[in-house]
Amino acid sequence: MADQTYTVRFEQVGVEMEVNEGETVLDAAFRQGISVMHGCKEGQCSSCKSRLIEGDIELLKYSTFALPDYERDTDHILLCRTHAFSDLTIELLNYDEDLMRRSIPVKDYQARLTRIEALTHDIRLLEIELDAKLRFWAGQYVDLTIPGTGITRAFSMANPPENGSTLQFIIKRYPQGAFSAQLDGGLQPGQALTAKGPYGTCFRREGREGPMLLVGGGSGKSPLWSILQDHLASGEQRKVLFFYGARTRQDLFLLDEFAAIAARLPDFRFIPALSHAEEGDGWTGERGFIHEVLARVLREAELEGEIDAYSCGPTAMIDAVLPVLQMAGVEPDRIYFDKFTPAVR
Ligand SMILES: Cc1cc2nc3c(=O)[nH]c(=O)nc-3n(C[C@H](O)[C@H](O)[C@H](O)COP(=O)(O)OP(=O)(O)OC[C@H]3O[C@@H](n4cnc5c(N)ncnc54)[C@H](O)[C@@H]3O)c2cc1C
Ligand code: FES
C-alpha cells in the first residue's frame, strides 16, 4: 500500500490522474490507462520529455543524451524517471490525440514459450502463448520477463493484433545478450515467461490515404511486419514503401513473403539495401545505408499526398532516418518511431 498519493495534471489536455509515492509518473499513467508519449521507459530515448510547470519531483538516473543538462535547467523532465513529492502540473511537449484516444491499459500476462526458429544466422523468431488475449495496436511492444532471473526486455510484436493470445517476435541475437543469447539453447518450448503491455506509440494510424513508408533495420522489422500485415488485413488502399537496411545478403529474411505481397499489390514496394554487400554475392539491389537509400528513393519517387512514416530499429539508424524524412517533407507529427535502445542494467 503506497504511503502517499499525489495528483498529476497534464496541462493542455486537461487530464488528471493520481501517482503513488515511489511510482514513476509514466507507470502511473499506464496503470490508469492514460497514454502519453513514451519509448524505452528507462530514461534513454527522450520520447517522454515534458516540462514541469509546478510541483516537487525527483528524477531517477537517466541518460544525458535523453535529457541534457541545459534542458534539465529549464524544468524539463522525463516522465519515466519522475517521482512526485507533491501534486504536479506538467506540460506534455509531444502529445497525440490519436494516442490518448486509443489508450489500452497495461496488464500482466502469464506466457509459455511455444517456438524458436532461426530466420538468419543471428535473427530468431520467438513465439509465445498467453493465458489471455492481449489487446494491442500493430507496432506496439511488451516487456518479457524470464521469471526468477530479473531479466526483462522490450520486444515488439511481429504478428498483427487479431490473434492477441499468440505473440511472435523477431529478435536479434547478441552473443553476450542476457535475454537474446538464450534463444540458442537456453530457453526451450514450455518455458514460462511473463509479458506486460501493451506499450509503444509507433502503431499503425488507420484511415489514412497518402503513402505509407516503413523504414527498418535488423530486428526493427518486427513491428513493421505487424504494421504491414495489419494494413493488408484492413483492405485500405495506399502506396506502401518498405525500406529495410541490412549488412549483407545473409542478413535478409522473409524475402518470399515480401515477393508474394509485391506480386499481389501493385502499390507495394520492398526496398532492401545492403551496407556491406560482398564481392561475388550477385547482389543487384540497393547499396548503402538505409537512410541514404531512403533519401535517394524519396527524391525520385514523386509521392503524392500526406505521407505517414514508421521507423524502428537501432538508435543510430533512427537518428539518421529522421532528418531524411523531414527533408522530404514528411510532417513531424506523422513520423512514428521506436528506438530499440539497449536495456539499462
Ligand atoms: C521499445 C523497444 C522495442 C524493442 N523491440 C525489439 C524487438 O522487436 N526485437 C529485438 O531484437 N529487440 C528489441 N528491442 C531491444 C531489446 O529490448 C533488448 O535490448 C535486446 O534484445 C538486447 O537484450 P539482451 O538482453 O539480449 O542484451 P543485453 O544483456 O541487454 O546486452 C548485452 C550486450 O549485447 C550488446 N547489445 C545489446 N543491445 C544492443 C544494441 N541495441 N545495439 C548494440 N549492441 C547491443 C551489447 O554488447 C551489450 O553489452 C527493443 C527495445 C525497445 C526499447
Ligand atoms: S526516456 Fe522516457 S520513455 Fe524513453
DSSP one-letter string for 92-142: ESS--HHHHHT----EEEEEEEEEEEESSSSEEEEEEEESSPPP--TT-EE
How is the chain split into domains, by residue range? 5-101, 107-199, 212-339
Among the atoms of ligand 2, which is closest to the Cα of residue 45? 4
pLDDT at 280: 85
pLDDT at 98: 81
Average pLDDT in the chain = 94
* Location of C-alpha cell 488507420: 206
H or E stretch including 147? Answer: none
Angle between helices 315-327 and 290-301 (to 10 degrees): 20
User: Which ligand has the shortest distance to the CA of 178?
Assistant: 1
Does the bond joining 198 to the residue before it have cis omega, within 30 degrees of 0?
Answer: yes
CA of 191 to the centre of ligand 2 (A): 30
Range 45-61 burial, b when 16+ CB lie within 10 A, else e: bbbbbbebeebebebee
Rounded to an integer, the average pLDDT of 228-257 is 96
Range 300-315 burial, b when 16+ CB lie within 10 A, else e: eeebeeebbbbbbbbb
Helix, coil or strand: residue 6: strand
CA of 86 to the centre of ligand 2 (A): 22
What size, in residues, is the chain? 345
CA of 120 to the centre of ligand 2 (A): 30
Reference 277, options 240, 305, 251; nearest CA is 251
Q: Check whether 215 has a pLDDT greater than 90.
A: yes
* Band (14; pLDDT cuts 50, 70, 90): confident
pLDDT tens digits, residue range 254-309? Answer: 999 999 999 999 899 999 999 999 888 889 999 999 999 999 999 998 889 999 99
Rg from Cα positions in the chain? 20
User: Which ligand has the shortest distance to the CA of 154?
Assistant: 1
Among the atoms of ligand 2, which is closest to the Cα of residue 44? 1
Q: What is the CATH number of domain 107-199?
A: 2.40.30.10
Ligand 2 in reach of 43 Cβ (< 6 A): yes
Among the atoms of ligand 1, which is closest to the Cα of residue 222? 8
Distance CA 51, CA 81 (A): 13
Burial class (CB in 10 A: 0-12, 13-18, 19+), 142: buried
Q: Are strands 5-10 and 88-92 parallel, antiparallel or unpaired?
A: parallel
Q: Are strands 166-172 and 240-246 parallel, antiparallel or unpaired?
A: unpaired
pLDDT tens digits, residue range 133-191? Answer: 999 999 999 999 999 999 999 999 999 999 899 999 999 999 999 999 999 989 999 99
Reference 110, options 132, 140, 142, 125; nearest CA is 132
Percent of the chain with pLDDT over 90: 88
pLDDT tens digits, residue range 324-337? Answer: 999 999 999 999 99
User: 24, 37, 47: which to mutate for ligand 2, most atoms within 8 A of CB?
Assistant: 47
Whether the Cβ atoms of residue 52 and residue 77 lie closer than 8 Å to each other? yes
Q: How many helices (H) and strands (E) does the chain have?
A: 7, 19
Say yes or no: domain 212-339 is CATH 3.40.50.80: yes
CA of 258 to the centre of ligand 2 (A): 33
Ligand 1 in reach of 173 Cβ (< 6 A): no
CA of 119 to the centre of ligand 1 (A): 17
Among the atoms of ligand 1, which is closest to the Cα of residue 315? 41
Distance CA 273, CA 270 (A): 10
Ligand 2 in reach of 29 Cβ (< 6 A): no
Backbone angles phi, psi at 304, to 5 degrees: -110, 145
Q: Check whether 1 has a pLDDT greater than 90.
A: no
Q: Check whether 74 has a pLDDT greater than 90.
A: yes
Q: Check whether 312 has a pLDDT greater than 90.
A: yes
Distance CA 247, CA 118 (A): 18
CATH class of the domain whose range is 5-101: alpha beta
Reference 58, options 44, 42, 77, 40; nearest CA is 77
pLDDT at 23: 96
pLDDT at 2: 52
Mean pLDDT lowest for which of 27-36, 190-199, 231-240, 307-316?
A: 27-36
CA of 124 to the centre of ligand 1 (A): 13
Reference 171, options 185, 181, 161; nearest CA is 181
What residues pair up with 156 in beta bridges, in sequence order? 141
